[in-house]
């Protein structure tokens, strides 16, 4: 039985399905129906692996596993697997034997079926929708991959392994959790009863080599003139807000812009889950902490922003403002901490300012709207808005300067914008990133800081 099974096993590399390529793919419902029937060969493979895993748990000393070199552990696992298969009279061919040994190593040392996806550098996001369904995002496009867990208990065991390493937990009393892997990848997990169809896991992978501004220019996210302008803004210590939707590249842009910070400056970063990759030597990284099982000991971003003000920072970088810490961040920007940066979820540059205003009100203190807007207008100088387009590409949509107040309205002007020009036959979004022809009011400030920009930087493009 296993000889036949091992000869016909599908290859380890998946044939992916691009959900965003409308000319080639089925609808989500069609995909679900295609995978609704259990593959008997896959079920047989998972059952075999589960049996072998139990045999390994009985024979290996798990308390010292992490101290053993992987090659030595692989030989030990291979020996146990070979003996178990021989005793059961269930031989596997060489390729499937090596494959099952590798998968068992992933179960023992890592996160089981997720390990090959975590190791794949082309994958940005891993999305587990129940134990049978896994999607990934490559180059902005969603793909379903033939990866699954044995059952719901298997998936729960992997989730527990992920969060327990961070000293966190997930159970019926606390059915969701945010955590990060050792490499910095961000993880969110939610289980029943909140996840109706079973546990769900979302992993935003941490890039081992962060994208530089030059790489963003090369991929068309913005042009060289805009890149030079952003470099000038950071060098001249202007306060910048990076706005965009989920997955639009806000953290990537923040990382790229932070590379322009002078290495002589002291930078304090504040994040919910540490994922910024600053190249400067003098960086202090702060991270929030959730409450303990007893409900005590929580450390919020607002606490960290307040503490950062006592740490003599030259710049404060908040990974993302989400609540009352927005007020403290604005206070810092208005009291001498020039060159600070943060990100916010928003659908446009103007909407980003409205979001900041809304979050300041979360403090529970009655501030006049005019006072909040005045703080925003005086604290922030620029908003960089990004978006993930329909073809999966991430682009800078605008670089906008905050120019002050007119009455109770914050005034802005676009310095660079992305002009959409339709879509190609292959579905690619066409357009160009161009200057508007408006010379920013901060031009004199940039010159005073010693920045010499090309006169063509702000010249409007000719049609």
Q: What is the pLDDT of residue 64?
A: 66
Cα(438)–Cα(429) distance, integer angstroms: 26
Cα(337)–Cα(355) distance, integer angstroms: 22
> Tokens at residue 321, please?
């403002």
Give just the sign of the alpha carbon dihedral 154, 155, 156, 159. positive
pLDDT category at 463 given cuts 50, 70, 90 is low
Q: What is the dihedral of CA 313, 318, 321, 325, to 10 degrees?
A: -30
Helix (H) or strand (E) holding 201: strand 200-204
Mean pLDDT of 322-326: 92
Q: What is the pLDDT of residue 38?
A: 57
Q: What is the pLDDT of residue 17?
A: 35
For residue 382, count other CB atoms closer than 10 A to its CB.
22
Cα(316)–Cα(331) distance, integer angstroms: 11
Residue 337: φ, ψ to 5°: -95, 65
Cα(15)–Cα(138) distance, integer angstroms: 13
Provide the 3-class DSSP secondary structure of residue 378: helix
Cα 438 to its chain centre, rounded Å, is: 34
Cα(455)–Cα(9) distance, integer angstroms: 62
Chain-wide mean pLDDT for the chain?
86
Provide the 3-class DSSP secondary structure of residue 377: helix
| pLDDT greater at residue 37 or residue 81 | 81
For residue 112, count other CB atoms closer than 10 A to its CB.
22
Give just the sign of the alpha carbon dihedral 153, 154, 157, 159. negative
Q: What is the dihedral of CA 298, 299, 300, 303, to 10 degrees?
A: 140
pLDDT category at 42 given cuts 50, 70, 90 is confident
* Residues, the chain: 463
- DSSP of 206-263: PPSSPPPHHHHHHTTSS-HHHHHHHHHHHHTT--EEEEE-TTSSHHHHHHHHHTTS-T
Q: Which structural domains are found in the chain, ordered by start?
A: 1-109 (no CATH), 111-208 (3.30.450.370), 213-458 (3.40.50.300)
Q: Looking at 120-174, list the stretches that DSSP marks H as alpha helix, in order from N- to C-terminal side.
A: 152-164
> Tokens at residue 153, please?
């208990």
Strands 283-287 and 267-271, how do they pair?
A: parallel
**414 near 400, Cβ under 8 Å?**
yes
| 328-337 tens-digit pLDDT | 999 999 988 9
| 388-444 tens-digit pLDDT | 998 989 999 999 999 999 999 999 999 999 999 999 988 899 999 999 999 999 998
Mean pLDDT of 323-332: 93
Residue 11 has pLDDT above 70, yes or no: no
> Tokens at residue 86, please?
């021989």
**CA distance to 5, 173, 176, 200, per residue, from 192 (Å):** 35, 10, 9, 9
Q: What is the pLDDT of residue 6?
A: 36
């Amino acid at each position: 039985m296993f000889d036949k099974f091992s000869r016909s096993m599908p290859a380890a590399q998946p044939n992916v399905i691009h959900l965003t390529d409308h000319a080639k793919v089925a609808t989500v419902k069609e995909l679900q129906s295609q995978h609704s029937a259990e593959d008997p060969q896959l079920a047989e493979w998972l059952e075999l692996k589960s049996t072998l895993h139990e045999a390994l748990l009985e024979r290996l000393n798990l308390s010292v596993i992490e101290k053993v070199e992987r090659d030595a552990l692989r030989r030990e696992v291979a020996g146990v697997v070979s003996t178990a298969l021989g005793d059961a009279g269930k031989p596997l061919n060489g390729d499937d034997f090596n494959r099952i040994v590798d998968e068992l190593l992933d179960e023992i040392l890592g996160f089981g079926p997720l390990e090959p996806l975590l190791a794949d550098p082309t994958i940005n996001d891993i999305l587990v929708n129940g134990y049978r369904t896994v999607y990934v995002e490559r180059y902005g496009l969603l793909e379903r991959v033939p990866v699954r867990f044995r059952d719901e208990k298997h998936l729960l065991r992997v989730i527990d392994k992920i969060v327990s390493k961070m000293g966190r937990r997930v159970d019926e009393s606390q059915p969701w959790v945010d955590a990060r892997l050792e490499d910095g990848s961000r993880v969110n997990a939610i289980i029943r009863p909140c996840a109706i169809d079973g546990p769900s896991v979302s992993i935003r992978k941490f890039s081992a080599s962060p994208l530089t501004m030059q790489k963003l220019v090369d991929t068309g996210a913005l042009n060289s003139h805009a890149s030079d302008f952003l470099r000038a803004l950071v060098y001249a210590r202007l306060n910048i807000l990076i706005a965009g939707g989920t997955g639009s590249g806000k953290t990537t842009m923040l990382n790229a812009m932070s590379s322009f910070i002078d290495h002589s400056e002291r930078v304090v970063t504040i994040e919910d889950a540490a994922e910024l990759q600053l190249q400067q030597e003098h960086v202090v990284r702060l991270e929030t902490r959730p409450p303990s099982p007893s409900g005590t000991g929580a450390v919020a971003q607002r606490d960290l922003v307040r503490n950062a003000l006592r740490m003599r920072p030259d710049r404060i970088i908040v990974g993302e403002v989400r609540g009352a810490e927005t007020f403290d961040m604005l206070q810092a920007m208005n009291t001498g901490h020039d060159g600070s940066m943060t990100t916010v979820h928003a659908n446009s540059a103007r909407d980003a300012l409205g979001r900041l205003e809304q979050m300041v009100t979360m403090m529970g203190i009655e501030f006049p709207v005019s006072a909040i807007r005045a703080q925003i207008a005086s604290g922030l100088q620029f908003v960089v808005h990004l978006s993930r387009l329909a073809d999966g590409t991430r682009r800078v949509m605008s670089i906008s300067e905050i120019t002050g107040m007119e009455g109770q309205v914050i005034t802005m002007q676009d310095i660079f914008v992305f002009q959409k020009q339709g879509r190609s036959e292959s579905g690619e979004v066409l357009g160009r990133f161009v200057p508007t022809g408006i010379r920013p009011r901060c031009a004199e400030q940039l010159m005073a800081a010693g920045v010499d920009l090309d006169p063509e930087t702000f010249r409007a493009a000719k049609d």
